[in-house]
Each structure stands twice: as C-alpha cells, then as structure tokens.
Amino acid sequence: MSHYTDDQIAKYVNTYITPRDAKIRRIIIPKQTDKNGEAMVYILLRRYSPIEKKDLKKKKVPTNIRVKPAHWSSKKGEVLKGDFNYQQKNRFIKDKESQISNYINNPNLEYQFAMLSKEEFLLIEEVFPSKKFLKYKKSLADYIEEYYERRKKLGHRQGTIKEFKTVLNRIKRFDDSNDRKTYLKDINISWSDDFEVWLNKENYADGTIEKCYTILNTVLYHYWEVKDEQNIEMTDKFQSKKFKRGKKSKNKPNPITEEQLMALYNHTFTENHFETVRKMILLQCFIGMRYGDIKRIKPENIKENFLIFTPTKTDNYDVVVEQPLNKYSKELLEEVNFDTSCYSMQNQPYNRTIKELLKSISNKDEFEHLEFKTDHTSHNFRDTFISLAVTKGVNWKSILKWVGQSSYNIMDRYIHLTSVCQ
C-alpha cells in the first residue's frame, strides 16, 4: 500500500467500489447472550460484488443496544413490543443505521460529523474503504502511545517509561483545549510556541516543561529515524534549538541534618511500623540508596566489606554501586543477615509513615531543639547521604561510585554545600 500515493488509492477506491455495493442489515446473534439473556444488536455491513455474486467483506458494528432473542424480529430487524423499551431501542438502532448509511453515501462527510466513533469508522472503512479513510492518520498522541507500548513490550520498567504516558496525557489535553489533533507534520516552531503557552497557562514549572520536551523529543527522534520506512510525513523542525522550551530544574536537596540522623539512630520507637520505617530511613541515609533498592540487597552483594550491586534505575547503563560499608550500614545489614527483602513497604505507605514518624519525634521534648521538619520523603534520605559526604570533604568521584551514578551533573544541586567544607 505504501508504494502508491493517496491520489492513486483514492482513484482506485472511487472507480471500483461504490455505495451501491454496500448492504446494511440489522441483526442479533441469538446464541451470544449475556447473563441477562440479552444479545447485542449489530448493524451488519456487507460489501457485495454483483459480478461475483457474493459478499467480499463483512463486519458487525455494535449498537450497544441489547434485546432478548424472543423480543427480536429478524425479518423486520427491530425490537418487538414485548420489550418494555422497544420504541426507544428501535429509534436508537435506526439512528445508528442512518448515520452509517449517510456516512457511506456522502463522500465529503467526516466521520466525526456523522456522529460515529473512531472504532465504528475503522470497522466501516475496513469493509467499505473510501477517500475518507485516507484522511485518517495517526496523531502525535497515537505515536506517543505506540512508542510507550513498544517500550513496555521490550520489558522496560514502568517507573522508567511512565513519563511517556504523562506527556501523552498532556498532549491530549492540549489538543482538546484547541479542539484539534496534532499530527507529526504539524510539529514546528509555531506549534512549540502554542504548546509552551498552554503549558504555562496550566502552571507547569520550567523544569517540568523542559522534561516534557525531552520526553517528546525522544519520541520524535525515534520516528524521524524510521519515517521513510513507515511513510511518515514530518519535518526536522523539532531538532532546532528554538523548538525545545523550559529550563532544567536544579532542586536543592532537602536532607535531614547529621544531628537529626543520629537522634533517629539512637532512638527506638515502641510502634512496630515506626520502627520498621526508622530502619528503612537509616539504610537510605547511611548507604545513599533509592527507595526502589531498599529491599534488593542480598548476601552475595557483600564482598570484602564492600557493598556491590546494580541500582534498579541504572541497570540498563552498566552503573554499579561500589561502596565500603561504614559502621552504621554494616550494623543495619548484619541485623537482617545482609538480606533486606524484609523491608517491603510500598512507596506511598512508606512516605505517609515517614511524615507520621517525623511528626511523632518532633513532638518529643528531648528532640525539640533539633527542629525536625515533616516535609521529607524517601527521596530526601539519599540526599542526606550525599550531602553529608560533600560537607565532610569526600571527593565527588568517590561519592558517584558509592551511590551508583556516572554523571557529575547530579552533583550540581550540592555545589552550595562545598562552602561548608572551606
């Protein structure tokens, strides 16, 4: 099909397939009933060949109207009076049939104006292709969703690819706000101007906007590489420096202080759930691990008093944590025989309990002077490890190796802490 132009295909369609070949009938399938004993009413669409004297293609368009077989006249194709709502149902079925027939017989009618859904449109065009089908092309949102599904099938973790779903939803909302669809051929500097205006109107921060464009460009570059193979119409405007908007955010770390950390280390909670979360916090603070890695340490990850493991977030980049065990991390790991799988609390309950724990300890008289904040989350305890290492003068190359990072960019947000060491 890709060897022919749209005009060539349209000429073939209009020459060899005409509305006269379309046969429409209302049917049910009596054996296919639901738990209420009702069957779906379909609009059966057939493409009939008068030359071969047979149907060339058939498809059933569901009307979403259901009826008991005993209340259906196959001869008249309508709901009988035995059905309490027979008049309303017949009216709806006739309207749907009329919409389909009107669409087929009107060469200039768009399926949306015929009050057909995209699913109904595709079913009809499969049986009775027309020039209108050529107008249907995948939108930018369709391509982002296709790319997301491809990454999912490749086994990429949900946490890694969820940003594509987020950007997909933003593009859909942007299109809805303009009452139009964005196609790949529409992507240019002017489109980016409009998209940036919408993002700002929605009160997205500069960092969020920059990340949105980064994800969007990942998708666009992928389809740019295969545009000839897939016959995709698009320009290279997205590669311009003027296309991308926003500014990469450098959020300052929000660690707990060393005094607060040692207070947590020396305190024991009577509540079991607080005690579990306390130890999870300490593991993050003394090892610098992300929440997603807390329960992944096994005995085989300990070699000659070093912790060696591949973090979840970077396992596709051959980045490995190589960290000498300190007094506190070794003690915490020995307590669970170097197997942290017991710390299996999910992220939301973990963050919720963190706030409750910090509120509880901040209300205790002996810790009042430490001024515990309650706005910390699981992200901030990795911040604590790195911040303490920076303030104690550990060189950045070692810190990156200890926390499993390969890029020095991550350290930008900790630069202001170096003044403490001077």
**183 CB-side CA count, 13 A:** 8
The per-residue pLDDT for range 242-255, each reduced to its tens digit, is 999 998 766 678 89
Mean pLDDT over 366-393 rounds to: 90
Antiparallel, parallel or unpaired: β 39-49 and 302-303: unpaired
Cα 173 from Cα 150, distance rounded (Å): 23
Ranking 16-25, 50-59, 286-295, 335-344 by mean pLDDT, the lowest is 16-25
**Which single residue is written with the structure tokens 């429409």?**
24
Ranking 41-45, 227-231, 417-421 by mean pLDDT, the lowest is 417-421
107: confidence class by pLDDT, cuts 50, 70, 90:
low
409: confidence class by pLDDT, cuts 50, 70, 90:
low
pLDDT of residue 2: 45
Helix, strand, or coil (residue 38): coil
Give the type of residue at 172.
K
Mean pLDDT over 118-127 rounds to: 83
Q: What are phi and psi of 348, to 5 degrees?
A: -65, -50
Helix, strand, or coil (residue 87): helix
The per-residue pLDDT for range 44-77, each reduced to its tens digit, is 988 777 667 777 788 999 999 999 999 999 999 9
Burial of 272 (0-12, 13-18, 19+ CB in 10 A): exposed
pLDDT at 5 over 60: no
pLDDT at 85 over 80: yes
Helix (H) or strand (E) run with residue 30 in it: strand 22-33
Ranking 102-106, 168-172, 229-233, 247-251 by mean pLDDT, the lowest is 247-251
Cα 68 from Cα 74, distance rounded (Å): 12
Residue 311 CB neighbour total at 10 angstroms = 18
pLDDT at 410 over 90: no
421: confidence class by pLDDT, cuts 50, 70, 90:
very low
Helix, strand, or coil (residue 107): coil
pLDDT at 223 over 50: yes
Top pLDDT among 66 and 114 is at: 66
Q: Are 232 and 146 in contact (CB under 8 A)?
A: no
DSSP assignment string, 303-352: ETTEEEE--GGGTTTT--EEEE--HHHHHHHHHTTT-GGG----HHHHHH
Ranking 47-51, 52-56, 235-239, 354-358 by mean pLDDT, the lowest is 47-51
Question: What HEC string does 250-295 produce?
Answer: CCCCCCCCHHHHHHHHHCCCCCHHHHHHHHHHHHHHHHCCCHHHHH
What is the residue-averaged pLDDT of the chain? 86
Helix, strand, or coil (residue 86): helix
pLDDT of residue 202: 93
pLDDT of residue 342: 93
Burial of 70 (0-12, 13-18, 19+ CB in 10 A): exposed
pLDDT at 408 over 50: yes
18: confidence class by pLDDT, cuts 50, 70, 90:
low
pLDDT at 420 over 50: no
pLDDT at 96 over 60: yes
Antiparallel, parallel or unpaired: β 54-67 and 302-303: unpaired
Closest CA to 277 of 365, 216, 343, 228: 343
Cα 417 from Cα 422, distance rounded (Å): 10
pLDDT of residue 1: 38
Closest CA to 281 of 381, 388, 383: 381
pLDDT of residue 196: 96
The per-residue pLDDT for range 20-37, each reduced to its tens digit, is 566 889 999 999 999 999
**202 CB-side CA count, 13 A:** 15
Helix, strand, or coil (residue 219): helix
Cα 41 from Cα 63, distance rounded (Å): 6
**324 CB-side CA count, 13 A:** 4
Closest CA to 131 of 15, 23, 232, 3: 15
137: confidence class by pLDDT, cuts 50, 70, 90:
low
- Percent share of the chain, pLDDT over 70: 86
Ranking 64-78, 310-324, 337-351 by mean pLDDT, the lowest is 310-324
Cα 56 from Cα 115, distance rounded (Å): 26
pTM (predicted TM-score) = 0.51
Top pLDDT among 181 and 129 is at: 181
In angstroms, how far is the first alpha carbon of the chain from the final one?
69
pLDDT of residue 331: 95
**Which single residue is written with the structure tokens 């099938």?**
153
pLDDT at 133 over 80: no
Render the burial of 375-408: b for 16+ CB within 10 Å, e for the rest: ebebebbbbbbbbbbbbeeeebeebbbbbbbeee
Domains of the chain: 6-135 (no CATH), 140-239 (1.10.150), 258-421 (1.10.443.10)
Sheet bearing 54-67, strands edge to edge: 22-33, 39-49, 54-67
- Percent share of the chain, pLDDT over 90: 55
pLDDT of residue 158: 76
